[in-house]
Amino acid sequence: MRALLLAAASLSLVACAGPGSAGYGDGILLFNGQNLHGWYSDVPAADDNPEVTPSFAVEDGLLLSRGKPGGHLITEDSYSDYRLEVEYRWTAEPGNCGILVHASTPRRLYGMFPQSIECQMHHGNAGDFWCIGEDIRVPNEVERRGPQEEWGVDEGKRRRIVNLTDGSENPVGEWNTMVIECLGDTISIWVNGDLVNVGHDCTASSGQIAIQAEGVPCAFRRVELFPYE
């Protein structure tokens, strides 16, 4: 079944051969390699303690998510119809992080996560969807999400939609490339060239982009957006 789903979803990969082609414009570097211009942090632990160690920083040309305290680095601007390319690696023990797209209402979930669709980077699960106040449909959803009566986008509901592949991530310490394509109400994810998830009928089609701090350090050397024209 998964092979059939991947074969069908590969049509999206053929239609969008790469940035700069198939209708995509020139890349926009969301991370400039020098500072966090164009981004702001939303870290609940900093609300009452401005001296808390920042969860996000720039060191040696890399954007670092330190993992703790938990929170998000969020773009000041909102985006729609684009292809986002992110290069990341775990700097120590692997763990959890993610890229959120179509982000809007701050702290919608658990007093920390903005309303969005998360494109999971958790080691071993890169490419899962997590629904955070927004929802999305995928083929064979009962198998990948669980009983339909338990689906939802808030606390206590089945918000995780498992990706389609295993083994797409590179060994720990090596750089990975995640590509997230948002076109209309469809979101597609590639990890190191493998198409790992495609969702449709998303309840949002635009919003901010966010990077998580969720447990362990993760480094980013490129965060580049290609607008669809």
**CA 129 to CA 135: how far, in whole Å?**
10
The Cα-based distances of 97 to 65, 67, 142 in angstroms read 8, 8, 25
DSSP symbol at 54: P
Is the pTM for the entire model greater than 0.85? yes
More confident: 17 or 161: 161
Where do the structural domains in the chain lie, given as residue ranges? 2-227
Q: Return the CATH architecture of domain 2-227.
A: Sandwich (2.60)
> Residue 159: its pLDDT value, please?
98
What tens digit of pLDDT does each residue of 121-163 get? 999 999 999 999 999 999 999 999 999 999 999 999 999 999 9
**CA 129 to CA 159: how far, in whole Å?**
8
